[in-house]
Amino acid sequence: MTDHPFRFGAVAGHATDAAAWTGLARRAESLGYATLLVPDTLRTLSPFAAAAVAATATTTLRVGTFVLSAPNRTPESVAWETATLHTLTDGRFELGLGAGRPGAEEDAAALGVEFGTPGRRVERLARTIDAVKDVRVLVAASGPRLLRLAARKADTVALGVPPRYTEDQVAAKLDELYELAGDRFHDLELSMNLAAAGGEPPSWLSVPPGGTGVLTGTPDEMADTLRRRRDRLGVSYVSVNAQYLDAFAPVVERLAGT
């Protein structure tokens, strides 16, 4: 059981133009989403720039990265960008960090930076967290090294598990985090991402029944599922692909802030 209230984020990284992007940000805000989160790939919008524009178009919506690939930037550059956004968004920026998702190595090569070994990437991530000030830090973690780091330094831990993971598998990961975090565990905000929500998931997303990365059913049924997961797992911060922004909005309306 957790004392953290529910909050919800929308994950988006594409827009045809500025009007489409600012319109998405305003729509997310009007529907009660707490955050608009931008991924960090060379095939999506630049996360810092996109977050800045979204914040300018809104008043209460928080903006963030989901998640920044720490190996692709120096800790000092991340701290600089973060401090700027913290100031210019009136404190509405949240920094999401990771040690490099699948495909990030190709992005690093294209940018002309060294991706590094797993150990060096985790060390770079730790130095990046230490360099930033005055913002909430989310760390995406799954393996033991990242869970250990997140347990020590994160405000929010996003479980980087595949959508097919069952609640039992997620619970096993959280047991690891609990052992590593000790007294900090109950202060951590726990987060999971939904690849799809509402109706049937797309055919390319192969998730067996019980997979926690897909949420289906009526709004009441989906809300009940998330309440049960919070009671069992402690997950209170749920993000969703912005493709499902409207389909998931009735759940946000029922649960946000409760």
Position 143 scores a pLDDT of 94
**Which CATH architecture best describes the domain 7-255?**
Alpha-Beta Barrel (3.20)
What's the CA gap between 184 and 89, in Å, rounded?
28
- Please name the residue ranges forming H helices in the chain: 18-30, 47-56, 75-88, 104-111, 118-131, 144-153, 167-181, 219-233, 245-255
- Give me the percent of the chain exceeding a pLDDT of 90: 87
pLDDT in tens, 190-207: 999 999 998 777 777 778
Position 154 scores a pLDDT of 98
Cβ pair 190, 238 in contact under 8 A? no
Cβ pair 135, 152 in contact under 8 A? no
pLDDT in tens, 36-48: 999 999 999 999 9
Report the residue count for the chain. Answer: 258
* pTM of the predicted protein model: 0.96
Position 1 scores a pLDDT of 63
Mean pLDDT, rounded, for 78-94: 98
Residue 102 has pLDDT above 80, yes or no: no
Mean pLDDT, rounded, for 155-174: 96
Q: Which two tokens stand for residue 214?
A: 């897909």
Please name every residue paired with 9 in a beta bridge, in sequence order, or none if there are none. Answer: 35, 239
Mean pLDDT of all residues belonging to the chain = 95
Residue 90: what are its φ and ψ, rounded to 5°?
Answer: 55, 45
Non-local CB neighbours of 149 within 8 Å, separated by 6+ positions? 122, 125, 126, 129, 139, 141
Tokens 């929010």, located at residue? 156
In three-state secondary structure terms, 177 is: helix
Cβ pair 57, 26 in contact under 8 A? yes
Mean pLDDT, rounded, for 5-27: 98
In three-state secondary structure terms, 89 is: coil
